[in-house]
């Protein structure tokens, strides 16, 4: 027994956490294996059809593992919710009474989840490589030469989002709030930048031109143009881990799961952010997990100190989102009228107020 009244980690805690996630881990390994093998087999079959018909084979023909990024992120989310959310719905509440440091239990959860994700990706990659080299079509095309490095980049990216899910699980009072917070903060920086930029543009466009020209000289407002640069877009995508594999958001030209993505460019674009975010999420998650106690109130957050921040920040962002949606459904062309600006503000205020009232109940009332 240590001076703090806790015991060093024993095999029992590892076994307890493993039993909790073993079934889901097996399902994920098999799902990812079947999914990726089907993709590789389809590519080899297509090449075989070209060879059989005597058609010229396109060069280069990318053959390799097409990583299903949404599937990987979905599993990371489900795994984190199973590990953390079960403590808040009463299924695994006895974890709070184990004689082990809470931070160490968090690291056990993270280590096991990371091992499952790594095993699933490694098994799928190995099986796809074996399928390719055992295929008679291997002589006609070349397997992705960067498959190992691409696999490592995908693994780091998924584990980063998984660490975020665990961090949100340490804060959230129910599994549903953990899911919502994980998805929101997975795209938060990029999404918030879009909403605040739209707010500034709408209010500047509604002002008289002489006033706009004066305001445009303010250094802060020059950020409006900076948001549209390639460097800014790379940053916004880089700090939003859930967007790294999505090619249709922010015109992302480097989705990590695609064979057509230049691996070296993608590594420069994502690797530094993933490394920093991973360390940050794990550290904050362990800190938050250590500071929480058993609470089955159903509140959004179990840490009282962060509730006031969410009480005001969440309605603000929903108000901006409502105003942004009103822009998308409008047919405004040319200079914006004062009525358009007033409608934008009114919709945002009404939605923000409604969310504020709901947030007071979600944060402070017991269910």
Domain range list for the chain: 11-186, 188-239+303-367
pLDDT, tens only, 319-355: 989 888 887 776 655 566 777 888 888 999 999 999 9
With bands split at pLDDT 50, 70 and 90, how would you rate the model's confidence at 1?
A: very low
pLDDT at 6 over 60: no
- Round to whole Å and give the CA distance between 186 and 301: 18
- The tokens for 46 are 């297509």
- Round to whole Å and give the CA distance between 339 and 360: 31
Tell me the H-state helices in the chain. Answer: 11-52, 69-85, 102-133, 147-171, 175-186, 188-205, 209-215, 223-226, 230-238, 263-291, 307-328, 338-364
Q: What is the pLDDT of residue 127?
A: 92
What percentage of the chain carries pLDDT values higher than 90? Answer: 32
Average pLDDT of every residue of the chain: 82
Count of alpha carbons within 13 angstroms of residue 212, beta-carbon side: 12
Most confident by average pLDDT, 1-5, 16-20, 63-67, 111-115 = 111-115
pLDDT, tens only, 153-165: 999 999 999 999 9
Phi, psi of 143 (to 5 degrees): -70, 150
Q: What is the pLDDT of residue 89?
A: 63
CB neighbourhood size of 75 (10 A) = 24
Q: What is the pLDDT of residue 4?
A: 46
Q: How many residues does the chain have?
A: 367
- Round to whole Å and give the CA distance between 172 and 302: 6
Q: What is the pLDDT of residue 80?
A: 94
pLDDT at 122 over 60: yes
List, in sequence order, every residue forming a beta bridge with 143; answer none if it has no partner: 63
Residue with tokens 């795209």: 187
pLDDT at 275 over 90: yes
With bands split at pLDDT 50, 70 and 90, how would you rate the model's confidence at 303?
A: confident
CB neighbourhood size of 59 (10 A) = 7
């Amino acid at each position: 027994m240590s001076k703090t009244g806790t015991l060093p980690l024993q095999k029992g805690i590892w076994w307890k956490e493993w039993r909790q996630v073993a079934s889901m881990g097996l399902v994920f390994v098999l799902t990812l294996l079947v999914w990726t093998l089907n993709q590789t087999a389809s590519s080899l079959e297509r090449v075989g059809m070209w060879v059989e018909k005597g058609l010229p084979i396109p060069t280069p023909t990318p053959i390799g593992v097409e990583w299903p990024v949404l599937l990987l992120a979905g599993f990371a989310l489900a795994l984190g919710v199973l590990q953390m959310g079960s403590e808040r719905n009463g299924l695994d509440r006895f974890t709070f009474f184990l004689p082990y440091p809470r931070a160490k239990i968090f690291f056990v959860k993270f280590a096991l989840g990371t091992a499952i994700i790594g095993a699933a990706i490694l098994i799928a990659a190995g099986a796809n490589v074996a399928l390719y080299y055992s295929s008679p079509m291997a002589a006609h095309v070349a397997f992705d030469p960067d498959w190992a490095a691409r696999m490592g980049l995908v693994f780091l990216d998924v584990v980063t989002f998984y660490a975020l899910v665990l961090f949100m699980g340490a804060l959230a009072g129910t599994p549903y709030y953990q899911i919502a917070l994980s998805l929101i903060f997975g795209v938060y920086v990029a999404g918030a930048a879009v909403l605040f930029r739209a707010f500034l543009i709408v209010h500047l466009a509604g002002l008289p031109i002489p006033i706009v020209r004066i305001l445009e000289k303010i250094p802060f407002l020059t950020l409006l143009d900076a948001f549209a640069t390639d460097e800014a877009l790379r940053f916004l995508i880089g700090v939003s881990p859930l967007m790294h594999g999505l090619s249709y958001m922010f015109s992302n030209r480097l989705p990590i799961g695609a064979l057509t993505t230049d691996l070296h460019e993608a590594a420069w674009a994502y690797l530094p952010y993933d490394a920093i975010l991973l360390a940050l999420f794990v550290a904050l998650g362990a800190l938050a997990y250590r500071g929480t106690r058993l609470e089955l109130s159903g509140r959004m957050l179990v840490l009282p100190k962060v509730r006031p921040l969410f009480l005001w920040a969440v309605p603000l962002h929903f108000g901006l989102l409502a105003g942004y949606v009103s822009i998308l459904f409008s047919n405004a062309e040319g200079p914006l009228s004062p009525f358009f600006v007033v409608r934008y503000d009114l919709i945002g205020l009404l939605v923000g107020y409604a969310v504020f009232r709901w947030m007071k109940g979600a944060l402070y009332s017991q269910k």
